[in-house]
Each structure stands twice: as C-alpha cells, then as structure tokens.
Amino acid sequence: MAETKVPEVRDITRIERIGAHSHIRGLGLDDALEARQVSQGMVGQKKARRAAGIITKMIQEGKIAGRAVLIAGQPGTGKTALAMGMAQSLGADTPFTAMGGSEIFSLEMGKTEALTQAFRKSIGIRIKEETEIIEGEVVEVQIDRPATGTGAKVGKLTLKTTEMETVYDLGTKMIESVTKEKVQAGDVITIDKATGKISKLGRSFTRARDYDAMGPQTKFVQCPEGELQKRKEVVHTVSLHEIDVINSRTQGFLALFSGDTGEIKGEVRDQINTKVAEWREEGKADIVPGVLFIDEVHMLDIECFSFLNRALESDMAPILIMATNRGITKIRGTNYSSPHGLPIDLLDRLLIISTSPYEEKALERILKIRCEEEDVEMTDDALAVLTKVAMETSLRYAIHLITSANLTCRKRKGTEVDVEDIKKVYSLFFDQGRSAQFLKEYQQEFMFNEQTESSTMDTS
C-alpha cells in the first residue's frame, strides 16, 4: 500500500516590533492638502506637513523626478517621521529606499557605487506583458487513478462560461496543481497557459445557496462571459537595481537573496538603460520614480555631494529626500563651513522644508499616541508630568521613559502608570542635560578629562 504523506502545517505569525515611528500611517492631510492637527499618527508641524503633502502630490503626478528635498530642523522635531509619512502616503507601489548618511562608508564597495545602487533601488519599472489565460467556472473535476495502482493519474476538467463549455484533459503536472489548489465544482478559476498556474477567483453565484457550508470568508463572483481563452495584460513592478543584479555576471539572481551584489559594471547599466528606454518607446514598460531617503545627510563627504549633483541631473533619477539637524558646520572632507554641512551648489538644487520645535499641547498628544502604541495605561497626572519632562529635556527622552515607567508600575502590581513611576525612572535614568551637569561636578574622577581649571571656572 502506498504511504500517504501528511502535508506539514505551519502557523505563520507576523512579528510586529514597535519602532520609533511605527505609529505613523501617513501625513494626516485632508483633500485640500491642509494638515489636520492630529491625524494618522502625525501631530503639529502643520507647515512642514503641508509642504511634504505638496511634494507627495508632485511625486504622484510624476512632476518632480530628479529634484531633491531637504528636511532641516532641530533634533527631535520629527524629520524622519515626516519622511516616513511621505513614504506611507505614496503607497506600496512606489519604491522607497531609506539609508543613513554614514552607511555608505561601511560597505565593501566604492562610495559612488553604493549611492548608485541606492538610487537604482528607488526607481521602479512597471513591465507589462500579455499572456493567454483560460478563465471559467468549473463544472466538474474528474481525477482517476489507474486500477493497477501504478502509473500516471488521468484527469478531466470541465470549464464553462456563460456562452460555452469545454472539457480539458489534464496532464500529471496540472493534476497536481488542481489537487493543491483544492479546485472543486462551482469555483471560478483562471489558468495561465504559459506556466500552468491556477488561480481561484472565488465561488460562482450559482452556488450561493451552499453559503452556510462555506463560512463568511467565501468570495462569490459572476460566471465569466465570452470565450474561455482570453488575452490578459499582466503588470510586474521591479526596481532598476534588481534588473542590474540579475544581468551582472557575478552570481546572477541569487545575489538578490544573499545581498552580496558587489560592484556592477557601468556597461551593464548602460545596456539596461538603453533597453528600458526601448521598452518605454514600445509601451511595454513605464518608469516609476520612487523615493530615496538619506537621513543624517551631513555625514556624506564632498565627493558624495558632487556625485549627487551629477546624479540628480540624469533622466534616471528618483526623488531624493534628505534630512539633517546641523546648523552652519564644516562640509565633511573640506575645511569650509556651510549651512547644514552641505555645499552651496547642492543647497541651490534643493527645496528646503523646515521643522520647528513642538509646543506643549503637541508634545502631550505625541506622548499619548506613543502610550497607545506601546500598550501603556497612564494617568492624566502622570502624562502631565511626562509632558513637562519632555518640555525641559527632549521628546525622545520622554518617549524612552514610557516603557521603563510601565515596567516599574508592573513591578508594584499597578495597572496604570502614576506620577511616582515617572519620578522613579526620571531619577534612575539621566537625560543629556543632567548627565552634562554630573560630568562638570565630577570631572576630576573621569579618565582623559580635558577641561582645565580655568575652563571649569568659565563654565560655572
């Protein structure tokens, strides 16, 4: 007797981690691109959000390719949050790549190669192709095992549309697909002729009376009309970088999984650009300019900046969004100072969005949203104290205190974080201001202390 194999059943659990910006769902704008006070996780910063909304609109209409935006503001004023909001409101179809400015120095390739790869990851190509499909409602599925118990199975599949009905003989591979997809009479299916892939569209409305036996998640669809065989346009979206990797000879498409792409030759990219231009002419492909977000952009050096100047002018450029919290500071790799640590000729090409410090009310709302995100119950008094801490120290420090205060609350078997919990963690963990004060008081005890007696007198 043939041994029957029990298919392995796995429970797939989505692991959701709470990050610093996991509460942001979009920019929180209305139809007129006006910023709502609190919406989609965004609070305050109305001017900056409105500006970001206009940029997002321009990106969606394809009118800003090759331009760049700089989000500049003090630390903790929501620059990264603004970029994340833009990414969320653009939707999943627009490629979005985020990187830190210092990342390119740690990769095993040239700086310009790393930037080129980041640029090309952010440009999507929508490739259209026509395929032949068979679409119809299953009337009957018949799979017979030979009486001898050995040999290939044979099967027949009867499909119909509103106008015609046909019986198809099934080969071994198709029988496996039909069994795997659990195709039964009454299902509306499509079969891709090139690959033999079967997709279920749903149950036919004629079977609606069996609803009770199926459950609420069953989707009902109309029986297809016209011919059984149809031509259908399928759209795939891939990034230019993925095409580069597949066509570079190092490891082929396997490099996509290992992440070890190495440097890609310029000739390969030129050939791909030519091919993509041909596809555009023929209407086979569209280019989707995505977004490249570089945080802490002042960490790039002068060579990277001059590369960006050149790269932004090419016709294959994504929308570049950069963020920095620096004032007038040295451009890395030179002895010259410049606003935001960026060269003047690059600043000239940028639209600059400025973020401003949050007011007390906005801070309270942000902390409330973070409490909800982190599943922390907090009393109104504790929230008021935490808001005061945020005003005097920084928003980031106050957000860090939420989880630690929740832990001290659970330790004393409490259900809501109270003022005492906030006070306790405030005394346990120093903020940057108190830490600096501590250093001034006890500087002699620390190693490699560089402050002289005279400078100590000046600071005090």
pLDDT in tens, 330-366: 998 889 999 999 999 888 888 898 888 888 888 888 8
Which tops the pLDDT comparison, 216 or 283?
283
- Rounded distance between C-alpha atoms, residue 261 and residue 250, angstroms: 8
pLDDT at 56: 84
pLDDT at 3: 47
Which tops the pLDDT comparison, 195 or 318?
318
Query: Which of the four CATH numbers 1.10.260.40, 2.40.50.360, 2.30.30.790, 3.40.50.300 does domain 128-234 have?
Result: 2.40.50.360
For residue 86, pLDDT beyond 50: yes
β-pair type (337-339, 328-330): antiparallel
β-pair type (187-192, 229-239): unpaired
| Per-chain mean pLDDT for the chain | 80
Please choose, from the candidates 238, 329, 358, the residue with its C-alpha nearest in 3D space to the C-alpha of residue 288: 238
* pLDDT single digits (tens) 398-442: 888 888 898 888 888 888 888 888 888 898 888 888 888 888 888
* pLDDT single digits (tens) 250-261: 656 565 565 566
Please determine, looking at this structure, whether the domain spanning 360-444 carries the CATH number 3.40.50.1820.
no
Q: Is 192 left (phi over 0), alpha (psi -120 to 50) or beta?
A: beta
* pLDDT single digits (tens) 385-399: 999 988 888 888 888
Which tops the pLDDT comparison, 3 or 109?
109
pLDDT at 207: 66
- Rounded distance between C-alpha atoms, residue 120 and residue 289, angstroms: 10
For residue 108, pLDDT beyond 80: no
**In the chain, domain spans:** 38-126+239-354, 128-234, 360-444
For residue 384, pLDDT beyond 80: yes
For residue 102, pLDDT beyond 50: yes
Q: What are phi and psi of 165, to 5 degrees?
A: -140, 135
- Rounded distance between C-alpha atoms, residue 26 and residue 39, angstroms: 8
Please determine, looking at this structure, whether the domain spanning 38-126+239-354 carries the CATH number 3.40.50.970.
no
pTM score, whole prediction: 0.69
